[in-house]
């Protein structure tokens, strides 16, 4: 159980963050609080005056009190309505800013840190609990209600104290004695203490049940969200669902988890109903006692009939504020507990050392990258993905990195781009450990197309420029180089066409077309090192041949690295590295490696045999073999 101090330490930190994001939010809530309570208590005073004036036959004074009551309600009603509209917009902003903070932090973290399971779980947990519990907007509302309840308690107590101090008229015997200040104060204190104790016991009685229901419900909700968002909401999954006739299976799964979810919600509603009934019972006992005490004061002449309405209203406000304060503080405790995970995510430190040395901007492209006895294992695993890799990448050369699936090729590239850091050894750029360089500047050296590249539901030109300034001539140039120019010209809006069906006017493209756009994006960056991870995996043989034919033009004057299990990529490379089980087992030209009869030769022959089986003729020898 969290302590009072730890709860509000978390809550106040979040309030400071909200205030720093938009300084008008909290003042607007405070203004709404003043208007809300002002309307209640001004109404109590004016109503009391109105009743007393009517009973005294002072109709002019009563008319004035009625007019003031009408004008006050009109003013407070209009002001509250305006504030409410403004607060609705601010609440929406606060709700959205929570997700902005999450993603801003995620983008600021290095890839290796963000990929750690415990870090990713904190992010997902924060999003899930925000969706289910309300997040920052609910926390802000809870603090507003708590402050409102506290102020309400103070105001109602000040009025009730005045009721207790009111002296009864003489001649009422036992009733007069009970209505005198000290006994009435003791009676009232006993009722208030009983109300507070009863409200707390009711909350404590049902809080554990509500917590257990929520904890059991979380896993069910995860499954429902997965099925609705990742399966039913996935446009691309529709093909697979229809081909294999998976509709009934998916709907049955959804039905099972919806029933479980409904059972949890029904149980939660049942607990809320029971808690509400218990609260109303305690409140009713207090209200009856309050009416009896106020009536005793009226009967003994201590207060007027008009004051009776005022004091009863104040006592009613006291009871409501007690229940609200206890219940909302319990809810606040729950949401602050969940929000601690959100703050822990924001406080997560990067695993990577933050370098500061600027990368030398060389117009001649004279960069040398070296792996010096680099070994690496992925977080949470014991097996080394790379083992004692020691090599240098030649400037302006064309390097092919080949090997079977899982040999370590893509891991090699991830370390090269500093998405991960070596477990042992180091990687250098022009003799300097890359960890010493500014990370963004270092990565600007690379234009990369990964095997699992991602395009976004943005216009074509934004997918190509990737946040850089739009240079239309340059965009078309790289599209032509990647053999995507005619495809984009055929789109309804050309460069301004949105991709995918996430947008109303978006277009769907094939895997090969998407890969061409990803290639254009890498070329638009105009980086001195171009890395292509399985660059033609989604292309048909003809398109593959056409793309490779353009490679010389695409990477002219740059260092290029091709990662592939297709041996055809080696035709355009003057240096080949062969990976096997995380190690570099061979390196050299095609002729040297083929003649050595090792792993490279076996892979080449295996693919050549496959092509022979299909075409009944051997594949054309690579250019480097014929030269």
Residue 418: pLDDT over 50: yes
**Is 220 or 419 the better-scoring residue by pLDDT?**
419
Per-residue confidence (pLDDT) for residue 365, from 0 to 100: 61
Q: pLDDT averaged over the chain?
A: 83
Per-residue confidence (pLDDT) for residue 613, from 0 to 100: 46
Q: Mapped to the 3 state alphabet, what secondary structure does 346-394 carry?
A: HCCCCCCCCCCECCCCCCCCCCCEEEEEEEECCCCCCCCCEEEEEEEEC
Per-residue confidence (pLDDT) for residue 622, from 0 to 100: 41
Residue 547: pLDDT over 60: yes
Q: Around Cβ 109, how many Cβ atoms within 10 Å?
A: 19
Specify the number of domains making up the chain: 1
Report residue 565's pLDDT band, with 50, 70 and 90 as the boundaries. Answer: confident
Report residue 473's pLDDT band, with 50, 70 and 90 as the boundaries. Answer: very high
CA 336 to chain centre: 16
Residue 107: pLDDT over 90: no
Per-residue confidence (pLDDT) for residue 214, from 0 to 100: 67
**Is 12 or 132 the better-scoring residue by pLDDT?**
12
Residue 386: pLDDT over 50: yes
pLDDT, tens digit, 9 for 90 and up, residues 429-463: 988 999 999 988 898 888 888 878 889 889 999 99
Per-residue confidence (pLDDT) for residue 583, from 0 to 100: 93
**Alpha-carbon distances, residue 226 vs 116, 223, 234, 457 (angstroms):** 21, 5, 10, 21
Residue 281: pLDDT over 80: yes
Torsion from C-alpha of 90, 91, 94, 100, nearest 10 degrees: -100
Q: Is residue 461 part of a domain?
A: yes
Per-residue confidence (pLDDT) for residue 540, from 0 to 100: 60
Report residue 363's pLDDT band, with 50, 70 and 90 as the boundaries. Answer: low
Which range is most confident: 61-65, 536-540, 568-572, 607-611? 61-65
- Alpha-carbon span 354 to 418, nearest angstrom: 12
**Is 212 or 59 the better-scoring residue by pLDDT?**
59
Q: Is residue 496 part of a domain?
A: yes
Q: What is the CATH number of the domain that holds 517?
A: 3.40.50.300
Per-residue confidence (pLDDT) for residue 31, from 0 to 100: 94
Helix 59-108 vs helix 135-165: angle between axes, to the nearest 10 degrees? 150
Per-residue confidence (pLDDT) for residue 416, from 0 to 100: 92
Q: Please state the rounded mean pLDDT for residues 343-360.
A: 84
Residue 267: pLDDT over 90: no
Report residue 423's pLDDT band, with 50, 70 and 90 as the boundaries. Answer: very high
Per-residue confidence (pLDDT) for residue 471, from 0 to 100: 92
pLDDT, tens digit, 9 for 90 and up, residues 166-191: 888 877 788 888 888 888 888 888 88
Q: Please state the rounded mean pLDDT for residues 137-147.
A: 91
Per-residue confidence (pLDDT) for residue 569, from 0 to 100: 66
**Is 134 or 16 the better-scoring residue by pLDDT?**
16
Q: Is residue 305 part of a domain?
A: no
Per-residue confidence (pLDDT) for residue 34, from 0 to 100: 93
- Alpha-carbon span 297 to 302, nearest angstrom: 5
Lowest pLDDT segment from 39-53, 60-74, 267-281, 455-469: 267-281
Q: Please state the rounded mean pLDDT for residues 271-286.
A: 82
Query: Phi and psi dihedrals of 540, rounded to 5?
Result: -75, 165
Residue 294: pLDDT over 50: yes
Q: Strand 575-580 to strand 583-588: parallel, antiparallel, or no bridges (unpaired)? A: antiparallel
**Alpha-carbon distances, residue 610 vs 1, 238, 543, 558, 614 (angstroms):** 66, 33, 19, 33, 7
Of 132, 134, 161, the closest CA to residue 222 belongs to: 132
Which range is most confident: 211-215, 522-526, 537-541? 522-526
**Alpha-carbon distances, residue 112 vs 127, 379, 411 (angstroms):** 21, 8, 12
Residue 149: pLDDT over 50: yes
Residue 54: exposure state from Cβ atoms within 10 A (0-12, 13-18, ≥19): middle
Per-residue confidence (pLDDT) for residue 216, from 0 to 100: 66
pLDDT, tens digit, 9 for 90 and up, residues 39-58: 999 998 888 888 888 888 88
Residue 370: pLDDT over 90: yes
Residue 385: pLDDT over 90: yes
Residue 626: pLDDT over 60: no
Q: Is residue 586 part of a domain?
A: no
Q: Is residue 485 part of a domain?
A: yes
DSSP state, residue 180: S
Report residue 621's pLDDT band, with 50, 70 and 90 as the boundaries. Answer: very low
pLDDT, tens digit, 9 for 90 and up, residues 20-40: 999 999 999 999 999 999 999
Q: Is residue 290 part of a domain?
A: no
Report residue 584's pLDDT band, with 50, 70 and 90 as the boundaries. Answer: very high
Give the containing element (helix H, strand E) for 179. helix 173-179
- 419 touches 413 (CB < 8 A): no
Q: Is residue 389 part of a domain?
A: no
**Is 215 or 194 the better-scoring residue by pLDDT?**
194
Residue 538: pLDDT over 70: no
Strand partners, 96: none
pLDDT, tens digit, 9 for 90 and up, residues 199-215: 778 877 777 777 777 66
Per-residue confidence (pLDDT) for residue 362, from 0 to 100: 67
Per-residue confidence (pLDDT) for residue 178, from 0 to 100: 83
Task: Give me the domain span that covers residue 512.
Answer: 457-526
Residue 567: pLDDT over 80: no
Lowest pLDDT segment from 424-428, 590-594, 613-617: 613-617
Q: Is residue 255 part of a domain?
A: no
Strand partners, 393: 369
């Amino acid at each position: 159980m969290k302590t009072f101090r730890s709860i509000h330490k978390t809550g106040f930190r979040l309030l400071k963050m909200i205030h720093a994001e938009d300084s008008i939010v909290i003042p607007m809530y405070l203004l709404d609080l003043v208007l809300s309570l002002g309307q209640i208590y001004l109404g109590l005073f004016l109503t009391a005056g109105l009743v007393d004036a009517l009973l005294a036959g002072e109709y002019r004074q009563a008319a004035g009190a009625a007019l003031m009551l009408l004008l006050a309600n009109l003013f407070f009603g209009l002001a509250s309505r305006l504030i409410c509209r403004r607060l609705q917009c601010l609440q929406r902003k606060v709700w959205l800013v929570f997700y902005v903070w999450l993603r801003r932090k995620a983008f600021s973290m290095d890839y290796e840190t963000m990929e750690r399971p415990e870090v990713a779980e904190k992010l997902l947990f924060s999003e899930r609990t925000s969706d289910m519990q309300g997040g920052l907007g609910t926390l802000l509302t809870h603090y507003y209600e708590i402050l409102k309840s506290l102020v309400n308690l103070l105001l109602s107590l000040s009025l009730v104290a005045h009721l207790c101090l009111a002296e009864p008229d003489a001649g009422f015997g036992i009733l007069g004695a009970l209505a005198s200040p000290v006994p009435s104060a003791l009676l009232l204190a006993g009722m208030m203490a009983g109300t507070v104790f009863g409200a707390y016991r009711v909350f404590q009685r049902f809080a554990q049940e509500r917590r257990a229901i929520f904890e059991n419900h979380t896993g069910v909700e995860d499954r429902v969200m997965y099925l609705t968002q990742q399966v039913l909401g996935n446009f691309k999954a529709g093909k697979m669902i229809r081909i294999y006739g998976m509709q009934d299976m998916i709907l049955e799964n959804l039905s099972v988890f919806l029933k479980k979810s409904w059972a949890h919600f029904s149980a939660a509603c049942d607990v809320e109903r029971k808690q509400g009934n218990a609260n109303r019972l305690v409140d009713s006992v207090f209200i009856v006692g309050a009416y009896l005490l106020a009536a005793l004061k009226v009967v003994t002449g201590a207060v007027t009939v008009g004051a009776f309405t005022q004091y009863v209203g104040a006592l009613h406000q006291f009871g409501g504020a007690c229940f609200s304060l206890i219940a909302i503080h319990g809810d606040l405790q729950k949401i602050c507990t969940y929000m601690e995970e959100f703050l822990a995510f924001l406080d997560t430190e990067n695993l990577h050392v933050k370098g500061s040395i600027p990368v030398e901007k060389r117009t001649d492209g004279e960069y040398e990258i070296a792996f010096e006895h680099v070994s690496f294992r992925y977080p949470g695993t014991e097996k080394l993905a790379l083992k004692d890799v020691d090599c240098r990448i030649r400037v302006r050369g064309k390097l092919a990195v080949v090997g079977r699936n899982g040999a370590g090729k893509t891991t090699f590239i991830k370390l090269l781009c500093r998405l991960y850091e070596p477990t042992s050894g180091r990687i250098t750029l022009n003799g300097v450990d890359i960890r010493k360089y500014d990370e963004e500047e270092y990565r600007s050296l690379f234009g990369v197309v990964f095997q699992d590249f991602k395009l976004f539901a943005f216009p074509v030109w934004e997918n190509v420029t990737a946040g850089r300034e739009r240079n239309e001539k340059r965009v078309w140039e790289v599209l032509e180089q990647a053999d995507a120019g005619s495809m984009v010209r055929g789109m309804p809006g050309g460069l301004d066409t949105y991709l995918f069906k996430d947008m109303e006017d978006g277009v769907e493209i094939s895997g090969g077309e998407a890969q061409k756009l990803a290639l254009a994006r890498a070329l638009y960056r105009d980086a001195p090192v171009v890395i292509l991870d399985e660059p033609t995996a989604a292309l048909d043989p003809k398109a593959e041949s056409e793309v490779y034919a353009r490679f010389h033009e695409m990477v002219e004057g740059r260092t290029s690295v091709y990662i592939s299990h297709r041996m055809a990529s080696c035709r355009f490379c003057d240096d080949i590295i062969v990976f096997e089980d995380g190690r570099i087992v061979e390196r050299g030209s095609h002729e040297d490696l083929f003649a050595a009869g090792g792993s490279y030769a076996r892979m080449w022959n295996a693919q050549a045999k496959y092509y022979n089986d299909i075409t009944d003729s051997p594949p054309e020898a690579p250019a480097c073999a014929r030269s």
